Amino acid sequence: MLFGYLSNTPLSEARENYTSALLKCGFTSSKENIEVFKSSGRMTASAVYARISAPHYNASAMDGIAVSANETFGATETTPVILNKDSFTVVDTGDPLPEGCDAVIMIEDVVMRENGSASLYAPASPWQHIRQIGEDICAGEMILPSFTKITPAAVGAMIAGGVRSVDVIKKPLVGIIPTGDEIVPPTADPKEGDILEFNSSVFSAMLKECGADTVTYPICPDEFDIIRETAEKAVSECDIVIINAGSSAGREDYTCGAVSSLGEVICHGIAVKPGKPAILGICSNKPVIGVPGYPVSGIIILEEIIKPLVDLWFNRSNDGAEEYIDAVMSRSVVSGLKYREFVRVRLGYVNGRFAATPLNRGAGVVSSFMKADGILEIPRNSEGVEAGEKVRVRLLRSEEELKNTLVAIGSHDPLLDEAADMIHRRFNDTYLSSNHVGSMGGITAVKRGEAHVAGTHLLNEADGVYNDAYIKKYFQSGGVRLVECVGRTQGIMMKSGNPLNISSIKDLNKKGLRYVNRQKGSGTRVLIDYLCKKENIDTSEIYGYDREEYTHTSVAAQIASGSADAGMGIYSAAKLYGLDFLPICTEQYDLLIPDYAWETEQVKKLLEVLKSDEFKNRLAEMGGYTVESPGRVRKHYEAK
Amino acid sequence: MLFGYLSNTPLSEARENYTSALLKCGFTSSKENIEVFKSSGRMTASAVYARISAPHYNASAMDGIAVSANETFGATETTPVILNKDSFTVVDTGDPLPEGCDAVIMIEDVVMRENGSASLYAPASPWQHIRQIGEDICAGEMILPSFTKITPAAVGAMIAGGVRSVDVIKKPLVGIIPTGDEIVPPTADPKEGDILEFNSSVFSAMLKECGADTVTYPICPDEFDIIRETAEKAVSECDIVIINAGSSAGREDYTCGAVSSLGEVICHGIAVKPGKPAILGICSNKPVIGVPGYPVSGIIILEEIIKPLVDLWFNRSNDGAEEYIDAVMSRSVVSGLKYREFVRVRLGYVNGRFAATPLNRGAGVVSSFMKADGILEIPRNSEGVEAGEKVRVRLLRSEEELKNTLVAIGSHDPLLDEAADMIHRRFNDTYLSSNHVGSMGGITAVKRGEAHVAGTHLLNEADGVYNDAYIKKYFQSGGVRLVECVGRTQGIMMKSGNPLNISSIKDLNKKGLRYVNRQKGSGTRVLIDYLCKKENIDTSEIYGYDREEYTHTSVAAQIASGSADAGMGIYSAAKLYGLDFLPICTEQYDLLIPDYAWETEQVKKLLEVLKSDEFKNRLAEMGGYTVESPGRVRKHYEAK
């Protein structure tokens, strides 16, 4: 194995080679004996047999008298059999059957006489009304086969069968070694250049979900000897070892060298995207995996390489564990021919079908995995997927939950997050997901039948009226409602103290002022374009006018960080970041709701939330909003 | 509330009354603040907002040089811009953007000159190749709404967003109080009349699965004061309290009284079966539930009453959490009009459809819950379900697992359990379920298309040949194969030392001998009927001849316990229980495999197991089998 060189091995081939190399050197689970009452959810290592029968004694199944059946033979309505008091025993349900008895007669069928004897008008058949030994479980019977997940009921059955402890497959211990000079432990106050070490927490949580235990070693600097020593220690202490990262083939990537020096590298470089620079190694007959540092790459390698190792350990098939649904792509995705690509998508269930929208494909964007509803796999040798194409998506959330989710696509406002919180607090089976694609993006999504609701604040330059002209233009055959939401104050956000002395739109092309803009198609972009035009400002003279952010918050974040001096946005975003704010105008931020969504439960619940006092209170806290009658239909553009 | 009286409140009404009474007195979750890296799988108690942006600094997204974009304006192929060495900084991917820079140029696009200056042939646009602050998460942005399950990726996003600890909903602590004079802690050596206390372990495992913590109190005897005191202590320490059992209205049922004396009983007696004698109480504003003692009744009350309380605590909807499938009933189920009945069923996926077979409906049979694949609900005011009727069954196992299960219905032999173990050890996605209904039951199941395979050993009295005559009779149009399995020694099992001196079939009608038989339709019953006929024995003279057990093992268990003296069965069962064994004959135990199942993966895997050496070794260990060529087709009765 050469260093400095990554192969491009197809995923399935890499997995097969690795598995067979591991099996060849004896990679297998170990077992441990644990108390049965702690065993629920664990997997049996071998078949479990009952040690005693359940019930372990013959018991009366009724309240009545226990008798010897042959003493009752011949009893009839007309010729009763009379048992004297020594020939029977009064029993309650559950009482052990007395010695010499082999039947129970229900108390209702017995006439007790004054001298203590009992009259019977029908014979008892042997073993009637008796709960016999072993009715539930017979001693020696197999209660559970090998490699079977122990359910709560199985715990009961084992205890009833006299089993006190059970051999289960030991949880594999996975050692996680974070590496990197810039990596620092989690903090709310990192220095510039520090990278917060969260991968080990994500990996650990993922591994625990699939039944492993984990231990995370202290962060190693980018030094070969330290990485090697830590890996050697981890290999001696754990069943599986993960080295994160340094798994590529760069100058400071020591992981491959460390693995080679301790054992063998089976594969370096897998044809997946993200996740390519992975290392599959074996040291002391144990798997040692170099996992790339970008969180999304790492998660993919965890899912595709390490979870299957844990399944192998548990002798567990993972077939069918995944759920898939059919969806229609809302945008094209271009993919390279060389890799099998895993694209995280959002799914919206609107108008009776799922639409899939690709999320930010950056390998560093951990939030994209959190927001993802599903994974779209694009095979090698495919150039991608066209918009409108039908695709099969692996679910990361339940289909039910997705079907109960209100899909908001359009202009961004933090009030949508607050509405999402409120809607789920009120209606625990309902969710709201919002995609920030700007007002025009929202109109398009509604037209395509992919959104229940779209936030929109598009100003018509001609008459200064919001939204109406755009709706008339884009929905010429109607079929939508414009619903009042809020008035909000738009203005120029700038560093606290206003160091550049910005007092109007006209100052934006000042020498040395760095502007940060919103993306084309957003209502705020339409607004700033309009304002500049009105003031006769050549926007090509505004430095950074092409620098586009997708939300008010991210514009504010750039200004707060000092990487820009000014940007257009709403008051609540400025307030959140402690920025100065120059109010320019109040605009109507409304909701476009198509007729096809109007009668859905989700939309009804949203309107209920918008009309609530709590919504008004939250807006007041955020600041910069004027509220009149949110939820009121401004206009119904009836379908023609 | 009168004691000694059970109401018959419909389940939904009981649940609604109870929930509204609890909400009225303020039953609600509490929260706790935990470290983020331990929070995966927990549920947020309130919305979580980012404290810092991620990335928290502007970073180079490429290896290259960082520049101020405006110094590059005007560069073209023919008129390069030359930056002297003080005007740029070499950066690696991830490096912070140096002060004064606002663009990165890829190293491939830079021509470095000897004097340390750099030539550029194209201008950089501001913010190109920079991973900007907040690209992933903006400070102040909502990362997670309230009442949201924290995923591993969300753990990463929170850490990246500078969140170190998170408010989650505290797990409700459920106190479980076992009661009853006969109840003893789990043991492998109980005394007669002792009832092993396993309910608390089952309940605890079930509650942990749905997110609760549990504490089990010491077993209380049936004494009002002790039960009351323990309940009072549990109410002060826990969020929810379960008293198991004494929940009915009998003489020694103190639970209702204890709950009344500490608070209020909202409902005593629910119209469900099993599970009727449940008590829904509120003490100190906390739910206190009296749960019936029979394990199956208890599990139903846990499922139907207590799990919904835990969902209420977590503000979690349980809609859609359950999976249902359609199945055809293989037998009728009669149900009382008064109750909503929960019938545990086995499901077999054969020939493209699910067949549902009701399991033992005894409320005491904990193994029936372990064996159950699904629950069939029969509503109140329904008399039950007919054989052949289509029903909707709630799944307890995954549909995938059920579809990968080989369904064996027919004659019992412990070798089927061993085969089940072997098949799943070898093929981790394949399972074998076996139902013991006797050889004739197996034939019927195959005819109905409900079994992949049926164990059969039916002796034709006329010619002494096994199986062939029966198959010809019942499958006149063919379509099945008879597959060789084993020869096995049938004989009379009797107490060790043979105290009754049994030396042949003729001794079975001896005075004082208690026989235990197999059920009608089983091959062993056919055999003993035949043997008695041959010896001219009147079976009505054999005491206990009508006492029927369903397996060899349970016949052996009765003899071992002393409740019977002799029974017909196979050697391996006698050996398991240390019984004496009088061999009578060797019979063919074969497998009937219908053509519709022959090509299935499950049957192929079974045949592979039957042909393995391991199968022979296991049989040798069990004893009493002769093995020639298991898996060989004796005869194919071709479809006509």
Between CA A317 and CA B527 the distance in angstroms is: 42
Chain A CB within 8 Å of residue B93 CB = no
Architecture, CATH, for domain A59-131: Beta Complex (2.170)
Given a contact cutoff of 8 angstroms between Cβ atoms, the answer to whether A298 and A203 are in contact is yes
Question: Can you read off the two tokens belonging to residue A381?
Answer: 């040798």
- Specify the pLDDT at position A446: 96
Chain B CB within 8 Å of residue A433 CB = no
- Specify the pLDDT at position B301: 96
β-pair type (A64-67, A89-91): antiparallel
Q: Which residues have C-beta within 8 Å of that of residue B418, sequence separation ≥ 6?
A: A47, A142, B615, B618, B619, B622
Instruction: Please give the torsion angle defined by the CA atoms of residues B254, B260, B262 and B266, in that order, rounded to the nearest 10 degrees.
Output: 120
CB burial readout A357-388, b (16+ within 10 A) else e: bbbebbbbbbbbbbbbbbbbbbebeeebbeee
CATH code assigned to A434-637: 3.40.190.290
Chain A CB contacts of B428 under 8 Å are: 147, 315-317
Per DSSP (E only), the strands in A309-451 are: 324-329, 333-334, 340-350, 353-358, 374-378, 384-385, 390-395, 405-410, 431-436
Contact B56 A190 (CB under 8 A): yes
- CB pairs < 8 Å spanning A and B: 350
The residues in B 345-374 lying below 8 A from A, measured between CB atoms, are: 362, 364-370, 372
- Specify the pLDDT at position A3: 47
Highest averaged pLDDT of the listed ranges A241-250, B88-97, B469-478 = B469-478
Chain A CB within 8 Å of residue B113 CB = no
- Which CATH number fits the domain A31-54+136-169, given the four candidates 3.90.105.10, 3.10.180.10, 3.40.50.1370, 3.10.20.30? 3.90.105.10
Between CA B517 and CA B551 the distance in angstroms is: 10
Which residue from B139, B142, B315 is facing A428, i.e. has the nearest CB?
B315
Ordered DSSP codes for B49-97? E-SS-BSSS-EESSSEEEE-GGGTTT--SSS-EEE-TTS-EEE-TTPBP
Given a contact cutoff of 8 angstroms between Cβ atoms, the answer to whether B610 and B634 are in contact is no
Q: Which residues have C-beta within 8 Å of that of residue A24, sequence separation ≥ 6?
A: none
Average pLDDT over residues B152-157: 96
pLDDT band at residue B181 using 50, 70 and 90 as cut-offs: very high
Contact B94 A202 (CB under 8 A): no
Which residue from A145, A199, A368 is facing B420, i.e. has the nearest CB?
A145
Closest residue in B to A52 (Cα–Cα)? B188
Residue B353 has pLDDT above 70, yes or no: yes
- Specify the pLDDT at position A360: 83
Angle at the Cα of A553 from the Cα atoms of A504 and B166, rounded to 5 degrees: 150
Which residue out of B155, B425, B511, B540 would a mutagenesis test of the A interface target, given it has the greatest number of A Cβ atoms within 10 Å? B155
Chain A CB contacts of B97 under 8 Å are: 563
The total number of residues shown for chain B amounts to: 640
Question: Can you read off the two tokens belonging to residue B197?
Answer: 């206390």
Question: With DSSP H G I counted as helix, E B as strand and the rest as coil, what are the percentages for chain A, rounded to 5?
Answer: 30, 30, 40
Given a contact cutoff of 8 angstroms between Cβ atoms, the answer to whether B402 and B429 are in contact is no
Distance from CA of A476 to the nearest CA of B (A): 37
Which residue out of A44, A73, A136, A609 would a mutagenesis test of the B interface target, given it has the greatest number of B Cβ atoms within 10 Å? A136
Which residue from B142, B153, B549 is facing A417, i.e. has the nearest CB?
B142
Task: Give the ipTM of the model, two decimals please.
Answer: 0.92
Backbone angles phi, psi at A522, to 5 degrees: -85, 150
Residue B442 has pLDDT above 60, yes or no: yes
- Specify the pLDDT at position A4: 56
Chain B CB contacts of A368 under 8 Å are: 136
Between CA A205 and CA A370 the distance in angstroms is: 13
Chain B CB contacts of A41 under 8 Å are: 205, 208-209
Q: For tokens 């509330």, what's the residue?
A: B1
Chain B CB within 8 Å of residue A303 CB = no
CATH code assigned to B324-397: 2.40.340.10
Between CA B314 and CA B168 the distance in angstroms is: 10
Query: Of B584, B588, B571, whose CA–CA distance to B627 is shortest?
Result: B588
Which residue from A53, A159, A320 is facing B400, i.e. has the nearest CB?
A320
Which residue from A70, A418, A560 is facing B543, i.e. has the nearest CB?
A70
CB burial readout A103-121, b (16+ within 10 A) else e: bbbeeebbeeeeeeebebe
Position with higher pLDDT, B483 vs A245: B483
Chain A CB contacts of B55 under 8 Å are: 364
Chain A CB contacts of B203 under 8 Å are: 152
- Specify the pLDDT at position B365: 85
Domain B431-637 = CATH 3.90.320.10: no
Between CA A619 and CA A623 the distance in angstroms is: 6
Between CA A381 and CA A76 the distance in angstroms is: 86
Which residue from B321, B418, B424 is facing A147, i.e. has the nearest CB?
B424
Domain boundaries, chain B: 11-28+172-313, 31-54+136-169, 59-131, 324-397, 431-637
- Specify the pLDDT at position A320: 57
Written as one letter, the residue type at B21 is: A
Distance from CA of A453 to the nearest CA of B (A): 19
3-state secondary structure of A626: strand
β-pair type (B548-549, B517-518): parallel
Residue B250 has pLDDT above 80, yes or no: no
Query: Of A382, A371, A375, whose CA–CA distance to A334 is shortest?
Result: A382
Closest residue in A to B100 (Cα–Cα)? A563
β-pair type (B405-410, A130-131): unpaired
* DSSP single-letter state for residue A516: -
- Specify the pLDDT at position A283: 98
pLDDT band at residue B320 using 50, 70 and 90 as cut-offs: low
Low-confidence ranges of chain A (pLDDT < 50): 1-3
Contact A37 B204 (CB under 8 A): yes
* DSSP single-letter state for residue A538: -
Given a contact cutoff of 8 angstroms between Cβ atoms, the answer to whether B599 and B506 are in contact is no
Contact A54 B367 (CB under 8 A): yes
Query: Of B353, B476, B485, B350, whose CA–CA distance to B415 is shortest?
Result: B485
- From the number of C-beta atoms within 10 Å of its C-beta (0-12, 13-18, 19+), residue B377 rates as middle
Chain B CB within 8 Å of residue A522 CB = no
pLDDT band at residue B3 using 50, 70 and 90 as cut-offs: very low
Query: Of B323, B357, B263, whose CA–CA distance to B27 is shortest?
Result: B263
- Specify the pLDDT at position A286: 98
Chain B CB within 8 Å of residue A157 CB = yes
Chain A CB contacts of B563 under 8 Å are: 58, 97, 102, 132-133
Contact A364 B153 (CB under 8 A): no
Distance from CA of B17 to the nearest CA of A (A): 20
State the DSSP H helix or E strand holding residue A291, giving kind and residue range, or none if neither. strand A286-291
Chain A CB contacts of B209 under 8 Å are: 40-41, 152
Which residue from B136, B209, B398 is facing A366, i.e. has the nearest CB?
B136
Looking at chain B, the whole-number percentage of residues with pLDDT higher than 90 is 88
Residue B103 has pLDDT above 70, yes or no: yes
Which residue from B47, B159, B556 is facing A196, i.e. has the nearest CB?
B159
β-pair type (B374-378, A625-626): unpaired
- Which CATH number fits the domain A11-28+172-313, given the four candidates 3.30.1370.60, 3.40.630.10, 3.40.980.10, 3.40.50.1170? 3.40.980.10
Given a contact cutoff of 8 angstroms between Cβ atoms, the answer to whether A265 and A287 are in contact is no
Average pLDDT over residues B423-452: 94
State the DSSP H helix or E strand holding residue B169, giving kind and residue range, or none if neither. strand B165-169
Instruction: Please give the torsion angle defined by the CA atoms of residues B609, B613, B616 and B620, in that order, rounded to the nearest 10 degrees.
Output: -140
Q: Which residues have C-beta within 8 Å of that of residue B511, sequence separation ≥ 6?
A: none
- Specify the pLDDT at position B2: 43
- From the number of C-beta atoms within 10 Å of its C-beta (0-12, 13-18, 19+), residue A336 rates as middle
Chain B CB within 8 Å of residue A512 CB = no
Between CA B483 and CA B635 the distance in angstroms is: 7
List, for residues B221-246, the tens digit of each pLDDT value: 999 999 999 999 999 999 999 999 88
Task: Write down the H helix ranges in A144-288.
Answer: 152-160, 199-209, 224-237, 255-262
Closest residue in B to A298 (Cα–Cα)? B153
Give strand pairing partners of A264. A282
